[in-house]
Every structure is written in C-alpha cells, then in structure tokens.
Chain A
Amino acid sequence: MLAQHLFNGLMLGVIYALVATGFTLFFGVMDVIKFSHGDVVMLGAFTALATYAAASGAGITHPALLLAFMLAAALGVMALLGALMARVLVLPLRGAPAINVLLITLMAGTAIRESVRLFYPQGSNPKPFPRLLPEGAFEAGGFTLRYDSLILLGLGLAAIAATGLLLERTRLGLAIRAVAQDPETAAVMGIPFRATVLATFALGSALAALAGVVNGLYYSEVNFGVGLLLGAIGFSSAVVGGLGSVWGAVLGAMVFAALQTAGALVVPGGSAYRDVFAFGAVIALMTWRPAGLLAERSAERV
C-alpha cells in the first residue's frame, strides 16, 4: 500500500517538477513570474493531441513513431510560443512593476485557455488522450506498477536531469546562469541578454509541453482547465522550493506531491479535500519559510 502511494506521489512530483522548473528558470533570468505557464502546459498537450489526429489521419499507426511526432510538435511549438511571449509580453515590460508582468501573463494564460475552450473542436469537453505506451503491469502483493507509468517516470526524470546538465555543463547554461546572477555584468562579458532570455523561455516552455504530454499520457485525458491548477501547483512548488533554484523547484514539487498524497490519506473525507489540504499547507509553509526552503541568500539594500 505504502509503496503504491509513494510511486503515485513520485509520478505526480515529476510532472509538477517539469512545470516548476519553468517557473524557476523564468524567475532566474527575468525576475518575473509567467503565470501563463500552466496554460502552456495544457496547450502543449492539445498540440500533441492535434498532431496525433493529423498523423493517424495520414496513416501512421506505429505508436513510438506517433509519440515521437507528438513530442516533437508539442515541444517545438511551445518553445516558439514561449519565446514569442517573452518577446511580446515580458521583455517590453522590463522595468514596469512586477505585478504588471504577473497580470499580463495571467491574462495571456486566460486567453490561451479560453481560445482552446472556444476554438478547439468541442474544446470545452474533456478529451481522451491516446494510450500509446505498452500496456500491462508488474504486480507484487497489493503493489501494481504499470509499465507506461514507469516509462513516463523515466522520461520525466531524464528531462529534469538533462535540464540540470544543460544549465551546469553547456555554454547556454552558463549564459543563463550569468544573466540570472547579474544581467549587466553578463552583458559586459559579451553575453547577449535578449537572446539568452528568449532561449530560457523557449527551454522552460518546451519542458511545460513535455509536462503536458506526460500528464495526458498518465491520466489518459486532458481538458482545457487543467492548466490553471497545474500552473498554480507548479508555481507553488517553485516558490516553496525557493524561486531561482532548479533543485529547489524539484524539491518543492516533490513536497507538494507528498502533501497531496498525504492529504488524500490523512484528511477525513478522503481525496476530495486533498487540494484544500495541500494549498493550506503551502500557505503554512510560506509563513514558516517566506523565501522558500532553498532560498537564495540575499539582503535588501536600502
């Protein structure tokens, strides 16, 4: 029983971590919260769904090939959209109050959500997501391990590890970290500010698309409203972990997933109250550690 809950919690944690990593990356380079991120997750899942419909319409039936197409389309389109949103909504508001950026991206997220609801064929209904991964499960006692979940878990962990490597071992990663630390000094060192920001937003949005596809494959369903909750959870995770730190985001995501799982187990009334419990716990955590668990150490100069 416990192993089952642990595994389910870990799976949720990986999905949340993919979303939270985007939040923390954006905050790192631009000191902004891009609240449309959750809706980019949702749009990534719908892009994959549309690609699936198009590809299977074109006669492709091999599941691995289909999945590859879906991932390529979702990640590619969302990366472009992320860079576009950075270019149109975030960069021009540099120097404006932080709340304006938060608002403009909240509204952009609403626009994405409503557009999918209104303009995707029957977008307001939940959509079945194709099952493309091998079925079957490994059973031991009361513990069921679905192969598809295992693959998704591996995929998510690999993506997070790859992002970590990218940030720590490549020139792009170095540029991103430099801009995050001090944009002006980075510019003096010859690091192009705008290009780095656009690349960061593309990277974060591609991770969001991956989260959307993984989420869709895991639940075998997507609906247009899923982004709001996933965005809020990803944001909470990034904040709980401490904005600006990738490992903080992963830690925060695991904490949130653990809270949800524990909430479903412990609170009377069962799983219905798990989000109430988890968000309540987040508010309490924020009160205890106002700058997150792994906070950037900083002092305010007056």
Chain B
Amino acid sequence: MPVAAWPALAAVAIGAGLAAALLLVHHKAAVLAVLAVGAALLVVAQRTRAGERAAASAAAHPRLVPVAVAACGLGLVMLLREDNFALLMLCTVALQTLAALGLHLQFGYAGVANFAGAAFLGVGAYTAAVLGGHLPSVLVLVTGAGLAALAGLLLALPLLRTRGHYAALITIAFGLLLRTFLEVNDTLGGPQGLKVPGFTLGGLAFNDAIVFDEDTEWSFYVPYAVLALALLGATHVLVRRLERSWIGLALDAVRVDETAAAAFGVNGGAWKIAAFCVGNALCGLAGALLAMVTGFVAPPSFAFGDSLVLVSIVILGGIGNPLGLLPAAFLVVVLPEKLQGLQEYRFLLFAVLVILVLRLRPGGLLPRRLRRWPGLP
C-alpha cells in the first residue's frame, strides 16, 4: 500500500509554522504560548504515533520532502525579509545547527566526544577575519573549513591513543589552549578581536541592503540567511546519505564496539579520525560564515561555555538523530534572545535543562530510531 505524503508535509509545515511564530512574536507571554503549543504537539505526536507516521511517510517520499523543506525555508526568509533581527537569529540558528551536525557526526556516529566545538568554530572565524578581502569569499569559507580540519588533525594521534575520559581531556585542553592563545596573541587582535569583511559573490556584496525602490528594501541578512540555510540543507542531506551508506554502518560499528568492528576488518582509528576531521570542517565552515554575518570576531565567543552549548544542542536534539538538532538549536539560540532578561541566565538555564534531559530522557528530545533496512519486515 503506498504511504500518503501528507503526514510528512504536515510535519514540515507545523515545524516551519512554529519557527516563524517563535521568530515573529515579541511578547513574553506569546513566546511562552508558542513553546507550550510546541511541547503539546510533541506529546500528542508521541501518544498518537503521529510522529512514526510522519517518519514513515517521509521515508516513502525521499524527493518530495526535501523540496517541501527547502520551500518552507525560503518562505520563512521571505516572510522575515525586512526584519533584521529575526533574520540574524535565523542565520545563527542555521549555522549553529551546521556546527552541531559536525559534532553529531563525531559523537553520534563515530562516538568521539568533542568538547572543543567552539574552538573549531573559532579557527574558521579567525580564518575569515584574516583572509577575508584577500581571497574570494567562497574560497575563504573552504579555507576556514580546511584549517579547522587541519587543526583537528593535530589531535588525531592523541585521540587515537587515548580512550574515554582521557580522550575527553584532549579536546577540553585544546579548547582552553586555543582560547588562551587567541586572547594573548596580539597579531590576531588580542582580547579586542578583529573585524571581518562581508561575503561577496560575483560582484554582489552581501553586506548591502537590497533596495528595489523607495518603499521596498530587503534586509542585507536575506542573502546570508538563504546561503546559511542552503549550506545547512546540503550538509543535512549529505549526513543523512552518509548514515544510510556503508560508511554510516562502519561508524556505528566502531562506536558500539571497536574491538568487534576491528575483528570484521573495519579500521576503527581511520574512521574515527575521518569523522573527527569532517565534523571539525563543518564547525570551521559554520564559524567562517558566522563571522562574516556578524562582521566581527573576538575570543569570548569561542569559550568553553560555547563548546558546551554546542554539546547541549546535540544532547537535547537526541544523540544520533540529526533531525532533532534544528529544534534544539532553535530553543538554545532564540529562547534567550526572546525572553529578554533571560539572556543573562542562559548558561544556567541550559545547564539545568541538560541535567534534566540526561536524568529524565537520556536519549534526548527526539531519540534516534533503530536502523531499518528497506525490504525487511
């Protein structure tokens, strides 16, 4: 029996609607109401198995659903086209999710915990600051990703030789080291940081507002938002493909039992390092574009706390489930901005939130489903 497409499309539409509502409302009570609606929908979806139907329908229509998601993303940007602040938040959410996808690849698939996500974001961002204006912007992004991967490669040998807590220490030490380095190094601006030139593509400077006539003027964040969402979408598709391929299977095997995987001829070390590098490259890419969007980099944005925020996104979203990252990033980025006064309390809030999730729902908000092969019952 063919599976209908509407449950998946409905889920996409509901998600986009919630995102738009969260970005558009300003009043505190309204924000809380949107959150309550979202939480209620999540509970209903669980109780009525609507979530499973949506997932099954999405799996049955692998071409239609991505198109619908892309249309919703574009629609969201168009809806917000004159609202600078909302678009900036949308960009930030998209790019944090992109970085979280990198961490997800490392931790969710290969089982390598990275507590220096913000440091790799920082490598990308400082690359954009130093090279911006000297190279074409696209090349700057690529270089940022490459340098982040290269920085991670420095840790390859230590990470391979250590396990568990010892490996966690390696990334923590690297994060602290890099931040201290940025702070004391004068050629990189020291504690004051550096300015970052904007993105340009074929003569189109992204930092100029788009003016049609006297009355119609779009925010300069529109092209950035489109670019960020496009990068996120492309990466998401890539990661999903990776998960379903033999590479994903190899990574799963290495995570679950490296010794057993080795017995079947899977080279655990190589896969772990590959996942680590690709994940860091995604962080670097996100960092480079984020630096161009905000036009400024400084060491405090790449502190240990920010690495923990990235880890929180991965944990909250559901370890191993890339779909959960977007709503988690929405909560983590938009909520503190919307609930003014909460901005100050955001690290405390996330800390308590993650503790509660780990105690009460250890799989995350949207846990990963078991691997299912088409054709099997």
| Smallest CB gap from B183: residue in A | A272
Please give, as numbers and ranges, the residues of chain B lying within 8 Å of A236 by CB-CB distance: 169, 173
| Smallest CB gap from A292: residue in B | B166
The answer, yes or no, to whether B348 is at the interface (CB within 8 Å) is: yes
Query: When A110-B348, A286-B162 are in contact, do A100 and B172 touch as well, CB less than 8 Å?
Result: no
A197 CB, nearest partner CB in chain B, Å? 18
Interface 1/0s, chain A 241-279, versus B by CB < 8 A? 001000000000000000000000000010011011001
| Smallest CB gap from A302: residue in B | B259
The answer, yes or no, to whether B170 is at the interface (CB within 8 Å) is: yes
Do residues B351 and A239 form an inter-chain contact, with CB atoms below 8 A?
A: no
| Smallest CB gap from B359: residue in A | A92
Interface 1/0s, chain A 179-192, versus B by CB < 8 A? 00000000000000
The answer, yes or no, to whether A282 is at the interface (CB within 8 Å) is: yes
The answer, yes or no, to whether A148 is at the interface (CB within 8 Å) is: no
Q: Can you name 28 A-B pairs with beta carbons within 8 Å?
A: A27-B165, A98-B164, A99-B164, A100-B358, A102-B113, A102-B165, A106-B308, A107-B312, A111-B351, A111-B352, A113-B347, A114-B351, A118-B345, A228-B304, A232-B173, A239-B165, A239-B166, A269-B184, A273-B181, A276-B180, A279-B173, A279-B180, A282-B173, A283-B173, A283-B174, A284-B158, A286-B162, A300-B259
A-B complex: 10 closest residue pairs judged by Cβ atoms? A114-B348, A272-B184, A110-B351, A279-B177, A290-B161, A111-B351, A107-B351, A279-B173, A287-B158, A107-B354
The answer, yes or no, to whether A145 is at the interface (CB within 8 Å) is: no
Please give, as numbers and ranges, the residues of chain A lying within 8 Å of B358 by CB-CB distance: 93, 100, 103-104, 107
Please give, as numbers and ranges, the residues of chain A lying within 8 Å of B173 by CB-CB distance: 232, 236, 279, 282-283
Where the two chains meet, the residues of B that have a C-beta atom closer than 8 Å to any C-beta of A are: 113, 155, 157-158, 161-166, 168-170, 172-174, 176-177, 180-181, 184, 259, 304-305, 308, 311-312, 315, 344-345, 347-348, 350-352, 354-355, 358-359, 362
The answer, yes or no, to whether A33 is at the interface (CB within 8 Å) is: yes
Q: What is the bound-complex CA distance between A276 and B308, given in angstroms? A: 20
Q: What is the bound-complex CA distance between A239 and B358, given in angstroms? A: 25
Q: What is the bound-complex CA distance between A283 and B171, given in angstroms? A: 9
Please give, as numbers and ranges, the residues of chain A lying within 8 Å of B352 by CB-CB distance: 107, 111
Please give, as numbers and ranges, the residues of chain B lying within 8 Å of A232 by CB-CB distance: 172-173, 176
Interface of A is mostly: helix
The answer, yes or no, to whether A235 is at the interface (CB within 8 Å) is: yes
The answer, yes or no, to whether A96 is at the interface (CB within 8 Å) is: yes
Do residues B165 and A279 form an inter-chain contact, with CB atoms below 8 A?
A: no
Apart from A279-B174, A286-B161, 10 more pairs, CB < 8 Å: A89-B359, A102-B165, A106-B308, A110-B305, A113-B347, A114-B345, A232-B173, A279-B177, A283-B174, A287-B162
Do residues B308 and A290 form an inter-chain contact, with CB atoms below 8 A?
A: no
- Contact partner of A286 (CB less than 8 A), chosen from B169, B177, B315, B355, is B169
A203 CB, nearest partner CB in chain B, Å? 20
The answer, yes or no, to whether A291 is at the interface (CB within 8 Å) is: yes
Do residues B362 and A96 form an inter-chain contact, with CB atoms below 8 A?
A: yes
| Smallest CB gap from A98: residue in B | B164
Do residues B176 and A229 form an inter-chain contact, with CB atoms below 8 A?
A: yes
A180 CB, nearest partner CB in chain B, Å? 15
Do residues B158 and A286 form an inter-chain contact, with CB atoms below 8 A?
A: yes
- Contact partner of B351 (CB less than 8 A), chosen from A27, A33, A108, is A108
Do residues B174 and A111 form an inter-chain contact, with CB atoms below 8 A?
A: no
A164 CB, nearest partner CB in chain B, Å? 23
The answer, yes or no, to whether A280 is at the interface (CB within 8 Å) is: yes
Interface 1/0s, chain A 78-120, versus B by CB < 8 A? 0000000000010011001011101110111011011100100
Q: What is the bound-complex CA distance between A110 and B158, given in angstroms? A: 27
Please give, as numbers and ranges, the residues of chain A lying within 8 Å of B344 by CB-CB distance: 118
Q: What is the bound-complex CA distance between A107 and B357, given in angstroms? A: 11
Name A1-36 residues within 8 Å CB distance of B: 27, 33
B19 CB, nearest partner CB in chain A, Å? 26
Please give, as numbers and ranges, the residues of chain A lying within 8 Å of B184 by CB-CB distance: 269, 272-273, 276
Where the two chains meet, the residues of A that have a C-beta atom closer than 8 Å to any C-beta of B are: 27, 33, 89, 92-93, 96, 98-100, 102-104, 106-108, 110-111, 113-115, 118, 228-229, 232, 235-236, 239, 243, 269, 272-273, 275-276, 279-280, 282-284, 286-287, 290-292, 300, 302
Q: What is the bound-complex CA distance between A147 and B166, given in angstroms? A: 38
Interface centre among B155, B177, B311, B312 (most CB of A within 10 A): B177
A302 CB, nearest partner CB in chain B, Å? 5
Query: When A111-B355, A228-B304 are in contact, do A276 and B345 touch as well, CB less than 8 Å?
Result: no
Do residues B170 and A283 form an inter-chain contact, with CB atoms below 8 A?
A: yes
Please give, as numbers and ranges, the residues of chain B lying within 8 Å of A290 by CB-CB distance: 158, 161-163, 166
Q: What is the bound-complex CA distance between A178 and B224, given in angstroms? A: 60
Please give, as numbers and ranges, the residues of chain B lying within 8 Å of A111 by CB-CB distance: 348, 351-352, 355
B307 CB, nearest partner CB in chain A, Å? 10
Do residues A33 and B165 form an inter-chain contact, with CB atoms below 8 A?
A: yes
Q: What is the bound-complex CA distance between A136 and B181, given in angstroms? A: 36
Do residues B181 and A276 form an inter-chain contact, with CB atoms below 8 A?
A: yes
A161 CB, nearest partner CB in chain B, Å? 27
Please give, as numbers and ranges, the residues of chain A lying within 8 Å of B305 by CB-CB distance: 110
Please give, as numbers and ranges, the residues of chain A lying within 8 Å of B176 by CB-CB distance: 229, 232, 275, 279
Please give, as numbers and ranges, the residues of chain A lying within 8 Å of B345 by CB-CB distance: 114, 118
B276 CB, nearest partner CB in chain A, Å? 15
Q: What is the bound-complex CA distance between A282 and B169, given in angstroms? A: 9
Q: What is the bound-complex CA distance between A290 and B352, given in angstroms? A: 33
A145 CB, nearest partner CB in chain B, Å? 30
Please give, as numbers and ranges, the residues of chain B lying within 8 Å of A269 by CB-CB distance: 184
- Contact partner of B158 (CB less than 8 A), chosen from A93, A273, A275, A283, is A283
Do residues A108 and B177 form an inter-chain contact, with CB atoms below 8 A?
A: no
A225 CB, nearest partner CB in chain B, Å? 10
Do residues B165 and A280 form an inter-chain contact, with CB atoms below 8 A?
A: no
Q: What is the bound-complex CA distance between A115 and B315, given in angstroms? A: 22
Q: What is the bound-complex CA distance between A269 and B180, given in angstroms? A: 13
Interface centre among A103, A111, A228, A290 (most CB of B within 10 A): A103
Please give, as numbers and ranges, the residues of chain A lying within 8 Å of B161 by CB-CB distance: 286-287, 290
Do residues B165 and A103 form an inter-chain contact, with CB atoms below 8 A?
A: no
Please give, as numbers and ranges, the residues of chain B lying within 8 Å of A279 by CB-CB distance: 173-174, 176-177, 180
- Contact partner of B177 (CB less than 8 A), chosen from A104, A107, A276, A300, is A276
